[in-house]
Structure formats: structure tokens, C-alpha cells
Amino acid sequence: MSISKEVKRITVHTLRQMKEAGEKISMLTAYDYSMARILDEAGIEVLLVGDSASNVVAGHETTLPITLDQMIFLAESVIRGTQKALVVVDLPFGTYQGNSKKALSSAIRIMKESGAHAVKIEGGIEIKDSIKRILSAGVPVLGHLGLTPQSIYKFGTYTVRAKEEEEAERLKKDALLLEELGCFGIVLEKIPTTLAAEVTRSISIPTIGIGAGDKVDGQVLVTHDMLGITKDFKPRFLRRYRDLYKDIFDAAQEYKKDVKNFDFPNQSEQYK
Ligand code: KIV
């Protein structure tokens, strides 16, 4: 008799059950195999292959330049590093807006070529047809409302969204619509805590907040930010758990010193 050591994968249904049970959901971004493996083994339930890779991996100022091919490359690397986490991949800018057939073919490419489990897309009513078509193919969709970085040139700034009544009302309607369409959850980015709480109470699918306060069903952060690899990004909502910029900087300087001083490699670090 063989004893199966198969690890049970988190699914979109698990997340719904977590909301019902009042258990918070943890989500972090991942863009490569090695980091995905660590985060998966640490028990993070959802790994997001975010288009924030455009900023923290590729060094662009915005998330707009990253391509579908590049997202697929990152996503397949992340998938190979996970056994348990649900892996969600951002549909990048220009691959789903205004053309639902294109949206479906982008989502299918991500699912087929990377092996990911779901896609995330930014927006509400304006992308209703794209969401419907992707869902009709059986691809789980995570919505994203509030500050949607792919629209940065429309907003003009990265400040808190939906502080005014009109935008808050629109966001509440969009959240209800995303639930009605069949999204399995919604990321709420940089909106007032009271609004995020109201949205969270009004829908049965989980909300995952980033800068949306403590009354949401889960939290997401960009891993490079929470580890302190990025140095200059300091929004109020960000908790830095480590200062890896300093640790890596110091390690690189120590290594350089050892090389220059003929101290690396030592005798035990060489082949006889
Ligand atoms: O791309 C990303 O990392 C995201 C998170 C900020 C939610 O969309």
C-alpha cells in the first residue's frame, strides 16, 4: 500500500470557507520559483503573480509596460515553487480592456501556459463583458477595485481612492456586480477602512485588502515591500517585516571585502 503524501491545494472554495469561518486570508506577491517556494512552505494561502513585477522586478515606473509573455514566464516559475498555495496571476494592461474575446484568450494563455489557478483583473462595470467571458470558460477571476494601478494616468496620483461619496457609491455597486458575475473575491486597494468594511459586509465573497484597513477578509502586500527590499516606497499601510535592503547590501560589501583581501575562498572552500 502506498501512502500518499499529496498536499491539499488551497482553492477558491477554501477562501470562501475561510471568510464564512472568520479566518483571515494571507496573500503575498511572488514572481520567481525560489521566493514562491519559501512563501508556500511558510503557509501563505494565496500567491499573487502581480503586475507589480513591472515595478519591483523590471524597474519600470508603472505596471503598464509588462507583457502577457513576461507574466506567463514569471507565473510558470512561481507555479513550480508551490504545492499548496492558490496562485493568481494578473492580466496585464492592454490584454483584457474593451475586448472580451481578447480577455478570454489572454486568460486562457495564462492558465494553459503557466498552470496558474486563477486570474486577477482591475475594474468594475467597464470590464463586465471581459469578466463574464473569462468566467464562462471556467477560469476563476479575482476582481480589483479602489486604486487600480493600471489606470494611474487617469487618476494622476497613487493617493487614497473613493473618499468622496460619488466614487464610494460606484465602488460599492461594482463590488456587488463582481460578486453577481461570479468573481471568487475582490482586492480592495487603498480605500478608507469604513468603506472596505461596508463592502466586506455586503458581499459573500472574500475581500483582500491592501491599504484598506482591518475589516476586510484578508490582506495582501507586495513581498519586496514587506521584506524591505524596496527602499523608498513608504505608504502608511505598509508594515516592513525585515530590512533586507540593508542585509543584502551588507552581505555584498562583506563578500567584496573578502574577495579583495584574499579571504574568500579559504582552504575548506576549495577542491583538492
Ligand atoms: O500587482 C500587484 O502586486 C497587485 C497587488 C498590489 C494587489 O495588484
The pLDDT of residue 183 is 98
Predicted TM-score (pTM) of this structure = 0.96
CA of 122 to the centre of ligand 1 (A): 10
CA of 51 to the centre of ligand 1 (A): 6
Q: Which atom of ligand 1 is nearest to the CA of 90?
A: 1
Average of pLDDT values for 8-27?
98
Rounded to an integer, what distance in angstroms lies between the CA atom of residue 69 and that of residue 58? 14
Other C-beta atoms lying within 10 Å of the C-beta of residue 270? 7
Strand partners, 142: 120, 185
Q: Output 22 or 6, whichever has higher pLDDT.
A: 22
Other C-beta atoms lying within 10 Å of the C-beta of residue 11? 14
CA of 50 to the centre of ligand 1 (A): 5
Dihedral sign from CA coordinates of 10, 204, 148, 27: negative
Average of pLDDT values for 129-156?
97
Q: Which residue among 120, 158, 223, 238 is best mutated to probe the pocket of ligand 1, counting the most ligand atoms within 8 A of its Cβ?
A: 120
Q: Write out residues with Cβ below 6 Å of ligand 1.
A: 29, 48, 50-52, 90, 187, 189, 210, 220, 222
**CATH of region 12-241:** 3.20.20.60
CA of 222 to the centre of ligand 1 (A): 7
Average of pLDDT values for 256-272?
97
Average of pLDDT values for 243-247?
98
Closest residue by CA, ligand 1 atom 2: 50
The pLDDT of residue 82 is 98
% pLDDT > 70, the chain: 98
pLDDT-based confidence at 69, cuts 50/70/90?
very high
3 pLDDT above the threshold of 70: no
Q: Which residue among 54, 222, 225 is best mutated to probe the pocket of ligand 1, counting the most ligand atoms within 8 A of its Cβ?
A: 222
The pLDDT of residue 7 is 83
Q: Where are the domains of the chain?
A: 12-241, 244-272
Closest to 141 measured CA to CA, from 127, 153, 151, 158: 127
Q: Which atom of ligand 1 is nearest to the CA of 63?
A: 1
CA of 66 to the centre of ligand 1 (A): 13
The pLDDT of residue 4 is 57
Closest to 49 measured CA to CA, from 73, 26, 22, 31: 31
Residue with cell 476582481: 143
Catalytic positions, written as ranges: 189
Closest to 160 measured CA to CA, from 143, 145, 174, 146: 146
Average of pLDDT values for 17-24?
98
pLDDT-based confidence at 31, cuts 50/70/90?
very high
pLDDT in tens, 89-121: 999 999 999 999 999 999 999 999 999 999 999
